[in-house]
Structure 1
Amino acid sequence: MPNAYEAAPRGPWKQEYVEKYLPLVKRIAGRLAISLPSHVDEDDIIGYGVFGLLDALERFEAARGWKFETYASIRIRGAMIDGLRTMDWVPHSARQKVKRVQEGFAELEYQLGRAVTAEEVAELLKVEVREIEGVMAQAQILTLTSFDETTVDTDGDNSGTPLNLLVDPSALEAYQDVEKDEQKQILAIAVEKLPDKEKLVVALYYQEELTLKEIAAVMKLSESRISQLHSQAILRLRGRLSRQKRNLF
């Protein structure tokens, strides 16, 4: 039996379906919020997402076997990220700073055999703690808007293993290689070694698929604190994956 989307005539129905799927757009925007600086207006992100939804409504072909919601989610998120790229609020020098801090976390944690704090990394790199915190925020943005960094893939079964941690769904096909299984195992081990609060944020975000607001409510912390914890977790994981990859070759 065709679903409601398949049966709908092409034309005046568009506004009706935009309204129907607007909660999906808002949900995706709410999840992206964990990786965005506070000055980015969520309404702008939703606006980009609506363009992605319109694109999905125009392009969707049910005969290919996709569920519309799955296809639309990829187009919506992709449109949001494309919109974020146009804002260009990450300096060109940010990439090197992110790499330096990422390597600082990885090196110090390797030496000490435990999770380290931003203060300890700041001392190692001889910079102020606020600079480390700023770089961690930039690291999330760069991860969100670029796909040429160390990444891991998702197995797509949504079984609770946080294997989609650093990957955008619209770019999955770019990461089908022989390292896939090894990276999954490395990442799972790395997540287990995170500090408790960071591990909980990762679990609530990637396994339970909660939004930034929902995680803040569950953990009784501010949204900015949740975003910071997520930032630190991502930087640790990227550093550990990068170090492990160097060790493999």
Structure 2
Amino acid sequence: MNVKKSSKLANLDLWKEWKEHGSLEAKNQLIESYLPLVEYVSSRMSIGLPSSISKDDLISYGIMGLIDAIDKFDLDRGLQFETYASWRIRGAIQDALRQGDWVPRSVREKAKRIEEAYGVLEQQYLRSVTDEEVCEYLGITLKEFQQMLHDVSVTTVFSLEDPIKEEDSETRIATVIDDKAPNPESALHRQYLHEMLSQAIDRLTEKERTVVSLFYFEELSLSEIAEVMSLSPSRISQLHSKALLRLKGVLANSKHQLFSE
């Protein structure tokens, strides 16, 4: 990551001026200090999006998320601001994209069908299911499945701000944020979801795990990953989509089981 992150401690005086005294000048300086974070998140999220969506638009949406993060950040909560702000920035960008309805309904339906297939089949077999098994469940050919993955690749901009289920208000971020005084029931739910996510990652194929690791941890672009793995960019995009849809399917199915018990 080629972004110089500002430390919360380095900006402590500004934070105190803003939080304790409501100094707008301090707030503006904080916004300016963290603008590189907006550019970084926007660049990452622009991968795979249609060319009609400009990076400048993403940055504009992201800045709104940054401002919201600065307004709501609690100095005493124990989180690094950069982590918290990244969630808010990504969430603001995705909210704007959803409101703009840039993905056709038919494509969203395809993504939901694949996600459901992974959730159901991997719960049934307790392992990573094959493309052929997913095709049988969906009643389609392997060629049709590959085309579906290509079609939905632009919808797999993964975010912890996304609801675990579309009709649900609880987000993935709720499974990783630790409040000062969590109640035992919510702590148990978070632990359960952590375990299920860990199991889901273990069920990814070797190539899918490699793509996820290089993209989210080594922070390579999809084109760079294609070079590393000696595969085409379109194949890397397909592996990325399959991995995220598999993870989302398992999370949705696991949460359904948790609250139906």
Q: TM-score, normalised by structure 2?
A: 0.64
1:241–1:53: structure 2 CA closer, same or farther, 3 Å change rule? closer
C-alpha separation between the residues in 2 aligned to 1:93 and 1:6?
Answer: 45
Rounded to whole Å, the distance in 2 between the matches of 1:23 and 1:38 is: 23
- Give % identity: 39
CA distance in 1, matches of 2:50, 2:238: 11
Q: Determine if contact 1:25/1:76 at 8 Å carries over to the other structure.
A: yes
- Which secondary structure state, in structure 1, belongs to the residue aligned with residue 156 of structure 2? helix
Which residue in the other structure is 1:53 paired with? 66
Q: In the aligned structure 2, how far is the partner of 1:73 from the partner of 1:87?
A: 21
Q: What is the alpha-carbon root mean square deviation over aligned residues?
A: 4.2
Rounded Cα–Cα distance in structure 1 between residues aligned with 2:200 and 2:235: 21
* Unmatched segments (≥5 aa) in structure 1: 158-174
Please say if residues 31 and 211 of structure 1, whose CA atoms lie closer than 8 Å, have aligned partners that are also in contact: no
Listed one character per residue, the Cα deviations across residues 19-44 of structure 1 (whole Å, up to 9, x for unaligned) are 4322111122233345x534333322
The alpha-carbon deviation at position 241 of structure 1 amounts to 4.2
Q: Which is bigger in relative contact order (C-alpha 8 A, separation at least 6)?
A: 1
1:23 lines up with 2:36 in the alignment: yes
Unaligned runs of 5+ residues in structure 2 are 1-8, 179-184
Alignment: residue pair count: 230
Q: Distance in 2 between matches of 1:179 and 1:58?
A: 28
2:140 match: 126
Change (3 A) 1:94 1:148: farther
Q: Which deviates more from structure 2 when the two are superposed, residues 41-50 or residues 126-135?
A: 126-135
One-letter amino acid of the structure 1 residue matched with residue 14 of structure 2: Y
**Partner in structure 1 of residue 14 of structure 2:** 5
Distance apart, 1:139 and its partner CA: 5.2
Report the TM-score when normalising by structure 1.
Answer: 0.66
Deviation at 1:65?
6.4
| Matching of residues 43-192 of structure 1 within 5 Å | 43-57=56-70, 62=75, 67-106=80-119, 110=124, 114-117=128-131, 121-122=134-135, 125-126=139-140, 128-134=144-150, 136-137=152-153, 140=156, 146-149=162-165, 154-156=175-177, 176=186, 178-192=188-202
* 1:179 alignment partner, SS class: helix
